[in-house]
Amino acid sequence: MSISDAPSAVAPPPFGRTAVAMVTPFRADGTPDLDGARRLAAHLVAEGCDGIVLSGTTGEAPTTTDAEKEALVRAVVGAVGDRARITAGVGTGDTRHGTELARAAERAGAHGLLVLPPPYSRPGQEAAAHHLRTVADATGLPVMLYDIPGRTGTALAADTLLRLAEHPRVQGVKDCAYDLMKTAKVLAATGLAYYAGCDEQTLPLRAIGAAGCVSTVANAAPREVRAVLDAYDAGDPAEATRRYQRLVPLIEAMMAGEHPGAVTAKALLNVLGLPAGPVRAPLLAAGPQVTSELTAALKAAQR
C-alpha cells in the first residue's frame, strides 16, 4: 500500500497511520538479521502497515549498537521505503549522542525520527525540551516526540508540548503518558499528529483526534490493528469498537504480563515462521506456556 492510500481529511499523517513498532530480527547467534528485517518489513507493509518505527523499545534499542541501528534503517528503507514511512528511534540519555544517532538515521534514509526525553537522569521540563529541540535541530527530518514517563521518568507537561509544537520539525507525538486530559489539550491547541503508543488506546485516542497508532501488537496482527482504524475512519464506530474489543485479549496477553512487547512479539513471530529470532539479554525468551497462551490469543483475535 502507498502512503497516499491512508484515509485522511487533509493530508497523510507524517509518520503513517497504522505504524508498527517493529522488532529487530536476530539470527540464532544473536547477530542482526538484516535480510530477515527486510522480509519482515515487506510482510508488515503487505499486511496493512503504512509506517514502521525502528529501534524503539520493541526493537530492543537499548541493546543494539549505533552501527546496527544505522544498518537496520538502511535495510528497511531499501526494502519498503517507497511504500511506508520509516521512523528511526534515536532515544538516548546523552544529547550529543542523540544528535549523532539522528544524523546517522538521516544518512541511512529514514523519513523521520522518534525522540524521547533523556531517561534515567530525569531532567526538568526546560532541560528535557532543550534536549528534544537540540536533536530536532540536528537534521532536516520530521520528529515524533515520545512521551513515555513510565520508562524515562519524565512526563512531558502540556505546556512543554505546546512550546515544542512551535518547532518546525516537531510534527508528532507517540503517546504513552496515560494522561487523556493532557492529550486532549494538546490536540485541541496544535497541529501535532498524535499516535497511540499503547495498543489498548488506539481506538480511544483516534476518537479524540489522534492520527493513528504505533503498535507493538501489529507485529503479529497487522491486519487486525489496521481494521480498527479503517472501520472508524469509514464512519462505522460500532464496527471499530467490535474489532477493538476482539483485539483486547491479545493486547493484554502481549502487553500486560511479565514479558515486555519485544519478548511477546518475537515469540509470536517465531510461531508464525516470520523473521524474529531470539531476544538479547537482559531480556529472556518467553517459555512454552506463555508462548502457547499468546498463540491462543492471536488465533482468537483473527477469527
In the three-class reduction of DSSP (H, G, I as helix; E, B as strand; rest coil), residue 167 is classed as coil
Among the listed ranges 10-19, 26-35, 124-133, 143-152, which one has the minimum average pLDDT value? Answer: 10-19
pTM of the prediction? 0.95
255-278 average pLDDT score: 97
- CA separation for the pair 125, 98 (Å, rounded): 18
Q: Is the dihedral of CA 7, 9, 12, 18 positive or negative?
A: negative
Catalytic position from the list 69, 174, 182, 266: 174
232-241 average pLDDT score: 98
Question: What does the DSSP assignment read for 209-264?
Answer: T--EEEESGGGT-HHHHHHHHHHHHTT-HHHHHHHHHHHHHHHHHHHSSSS-HHHH
17-25 average pLDDT score: 98
pLDDT in tens, 39-64: 999 999 999 999 999 999 999 999 99
Give the strand pairing for 51-54 and 193-196: unpaired
- CA separation for the pair 72, 70 (Å, rounded): 5
CB distance 290 to 259 below 8 Å: yes
What's the confidence (pLDDT) of residue 68? 98
Terminal C-alpha separation, the chain: 24
- The answer to whether residue 12 scores a pLDDT higher than 90 is no
Question: pLDDT above 70 covers what percent of the chain?
Answer: 97
Question: pLDDT above 90 covers what percent of the chain?
Answer: 95
- The answer to whether residue 1 scores a pLDDT higher than 70 is no
Quick one: pLDDT band at residue 272, thresholds 50, 70, 90?
Answer: very high
**Torsion-angle region of residue 30: left (phi > 0), alpha (psi -120 to 50) or beta?**
left
Q: Is 146 a catalytic residue?
A: yes
CB distance 263 to 283 below 8 Å: yes
Distant-in-sequence, close-in-space partners of 165: CB < 8 Å, separation ≥ 6: 186, 189, 190, 191, 192
Q: Is 182 a catalytic residue?
A: no
- The answer to whether residue 274 scores a pLDDT higher than 60 is yes
- The answer to whether residue 158 scores a pLDDT higher than 70 is yes
What's the confidence (pLDDT) of residue 10? 55
- Reply yes or no: is the peptide bond before residue 142 cis, omega within 30 of 0: no
What's the confidence (pLDDT) of residue 303? 84
95-106 average pLDDT score: 98
160-173 average pLDDT score: 98
Average pLDDT of the chain to the nearest whole number: 95
Catalytic position from the list 69, 120, 146, 266: 146
pLDDT in tens, 59-95: 999 999 999 999 999 999 999 999 999 999 999 999 9
What's the confidence (pLDDT) of residue 4? 40
pLDDT in tens, 114-136: 999 999 999 999 999 999 999 99
Quick one: pLDDT band at residue 300, thresholds 50, 70, 90?
Answer: very high
